[in-house]
Structure 1
Amino acid sequence: MVRILPAASASTSSSILYMSSLRPSLSSSSSPIRFPSSSRLGIPLCCAYNPSRRLTLFHLSSAIPQSQLFGAKASTPLRAEGNTIEASSAGNMAQPSTAVTEENALEWAKNDKRRMLHVVYRVGDLDKTIKFYTECLGMKLLRKRDIPEERYSNAFLGYGPEDSHFVVELTYNYGVDKYDIGAGFGHFGIAVDDVVKTVELVKAKGGKVTREPGPVKGGSTVIAFIEDPDGYKFELLERGPTPEPLCQVMLRVGDLDRAINFYKKAFGMELLRKRDNPEYKYTIAMMGYGPEDKNTVLELTYNYGVTEYDKGNGYAQIAIGTDDVYKTAEAIKLSGGRITREPGPLPGINTKITACLDPDGWKSVFVDNVDFLRELE
């Protein structure tokens, strides 16, 4: 159902495809939305690929404390992997002197070799979600790990190997079968050859369709919206072959211009396009490291008058590759972001990372490019 164009044969065209205008409501309704303003918060391997547990660790996957879980059934505390790493002794390690001035922060971020690596979120039934993604969305199970001593499992799925494709990292915390997705997370985007056929398959497998196939309002691109077993929304976009079918992550922000400036300066992303929809009271901005039809992009949505969102505890973070986590951290600080894990090697494995929050509180983790490839070997 999903056709993948090998990365080596991808065209260098910078054409951008028009996408859905249904960003705020994820439905065919034209009424504006309003969200609460309070903030709440790896099976046998399927390929010739045997990553070590080290890789699982630096992904900061998202086993979280039970006190933060929604609908948690586990009776014992769950390890907060990301928090554990942030509280590590990395702060005592000697770090290179890589001060970045405000003048060259933007230049560094733009010249850095960055790529969106994976997106992390929590699910209540790992095998059920894997089955849905592989059978309905055409993803491949790249690897799955169980860490019983830390009471969680995770799985990586996508449309190609992790060293060249954006993938999803699913985390299952023992005993937790439900999460609050919140109102801030929007959806993931999947490019497919035939939206109608994909929707028929989703229905046949018991999936939920929240927006039937049809052209976007004011455009011709055929889209549909579905939900996975945990309620995460996916927008299906009808496109030709693409090297990156997992093409969007949509997040809602309270100040679009502030978010755009932050991701341009701190993350080195380009503003690919911006579109205001006064009729439906929202504006979107597509940010990324290349054109939408060939790369995964971050879709930021601003709903008129909404400045804060409930983020829930389901969605976790995006991981991005970088050539230098130290310079990246400095650029983030200078751009108004907050570092939640100071740059440096993870204890015992030497994979260098840094983690941050954007002005809206969305988390991202930057991983050293060389270390990332080494850990995949």
Structure 2
Amino acid sequence: MAESVPVVPSADLLEWPKKDKRRFLHVVYRVGDLDRTIKFYTECFGMKLLRKRDVPEEKYSNAFIGFGPEESNFVLELTYNYGVTSYDIGTGFGHLAIASTDVYKMVEDIRAKGGNVTREPGRLEGGKSIVAFLKDPDGYTFELIQRGLTPEPLCQIMVRALGMRILRTVDRSKYKYKLAMMGYADETATTALELIYNYGVSEYTKGNGYAQIAIGTDDVYKSAEVVKLVIEELGAGKITRQPGPILGINTKITSFLDPDG
């Protein structure tokens, strides 16, 4: 029997995200060689393989990997589809960022292991942080950011553009882009979402490599109602899976697309 969903007035719904204990759980993307990617992330980044499974009846394997347990840390879910060796990453997904106490040393270690460093360590013009950029074997970009010890080394997800709060905004008109950092807590203590708007660009290609970001919530039904309300208000976005349990596991989910797809 389907679970009944309580009807909640709109005003109460809009207050719900402020009370909900949310956090980013994981980001999902597809890779062409799962073992190769696991080896690169563990040896070059220092991540740990948390769990791995093979689902032959559905012709895919996946692995969860990160700097700490899934119960408390943001992690990566890597998916390998049988027989698919490469993906189109598209232009909408930007990069993931990793915090390090010594970016220079980390870059040299990664280079020694065959990593593709695309920007040497240094300060961005107009910025204060020391950063570097590199690509993994599938072409996904990672930013390395120098900062002190942090409980969440996997610190940023950058996409080009939910109950989050704006942590800070920056308008870099000289370079023709704006950025906003959004999240559920201070960006130095948890994973933040970095949104980039490039002047004059209104559309990006989605590709087929990046899949989704997962967010934890205390009540998936209430959260889905909030999403529905905001989608109706904006006239953009789409709920792709109604809230409900996943057969075989004690988890309830809903899925949706934001206005950029």
Normalising TM by the smaller chain, what interval? over 0.9
SS of residue in 2 equivalent to 1:225: strand
Q: In 2 relative to 1, CA 350–130 (structure 1 residues): closer, same or farther, beyond 3 Å?
A: closer
Cα distance in structure 2, aligned partners of 1:307 and 1:149: 40
CA offsets, 1:217-253, max 9 Å, x none?
A: 1122100000000000000000111000000111001
- 1:121·1:316 contact (CA, 8 Å) conserved in 2? yes
TM-score (norm 2): 0.95
Q: Which AA in structure 2 matches 1:211? A: R
Corresponding letter in the other structure for 1:145: R
**Helix, strand or coil for the counterpart of 2:54?**
strand
Report how far residue 350 of structure 1 moved: 4.4
Identity of matched residues, %: 68
Equivalence for 2:148: 240
Relative to the length of structure 1, the TM-score reads 0.66
Corresponding residue for 2:122?
214
Q: More strand by proportion, 1 or 2?
A: 2
CA distance in 2, matches of 1:348, 1:145: 15
Alignment of 1:41-80 (within 5 A): none
For the pair 1:289 / 2:150, whether they are aligned, the reply is no
Letter in 1 for 2:53: R
Match in the other structure for 2:234 = none
**Cα offset for 1:268?**
1.7
The 5 A counterparts of 1:182-197 are 182-197=90-105
1:270 to 165, 174, 180: 165
Residue number among 347, 350, 354 corresponding to 2:254 in the alignment: 354
Aligned to 1:108: 16
Looking at structure 2, the residues matched to 98 and 225 of structure 1 have their Cα atoms a distance apart, in angstroms, of: 47
Out of 195, 201, 207, the residue aligned to residue 300 of structure 1 is: 195
The AA in structure 2 aligned to 1:224 is: A
Q: Is the 8 A contact 1:287 1:298 kept in 2?
A: yes
| Structure 2 letter corresponding to 1:353 | I
Query: Is residue 99–residue 330 contact of structure 1 (8 Å, CA) maintained in 2?
Result: no
Q: Distance in 2 between matches of 1:291 and 1:97?
A: 33
Matched pairs, number:
256
Cα distance in 2 for partners of 1:274, 1:139 equals 30
Secondary structure in 2 matching 1:279: helix
Asked whether the equivalents of residues 99 and 327 of structure 1 are also in contact (C-alpha less than 8 Å), the reply is no
Taking the TM superposition and a 5 Å limit, the aligned residue runs for 1:166-205 are 166-205=74-113
Work out whether 1:280 is the aligned partner of 2:162. no
Matched ranges for 1:131-146 at <5 A: 131-146=39-54
State the AA in 1 paired with 2:213: I
| 1:329-340 map, 5 Å | 329-336=224-231, 337-340=237-240
Match of 2:204?
Answer: 309
2:29 counterpart letter in structure 1 = Y
CA RMSD between the two structures: 1.1
Matched, 1:342 2:234: no
Unaligned runs of 5+ in 2: 232-236
Cα gap change, 1:348 to 1:155, in 2 (>3 Å): closer
The amino acid across from 1:288 in the alignment is G
Name which structure has the greater RCO, CA cutoff 8 Å, separation 6+: 1
Residue number among 61, 66, 75 corresponding to 1:153 in the alignment:
61
* AA at the equivalent of 2:9: T
Q: Describe the superposition over 1:48-105 as per-residue Cα deviations: whole angstroms up to 9, x where unpaired.
A: xxxxxxxxxxxxxxxxxxxxxxxxxxxxxxxxxxxxxxxxxxxxx5232323333222
Residues 360 and 118 (structure 1), Cα distance of their counterparts in 2 relative to 1, 3 Å cut:
same
Q: Return the offset for 1:179.
A: 0.2
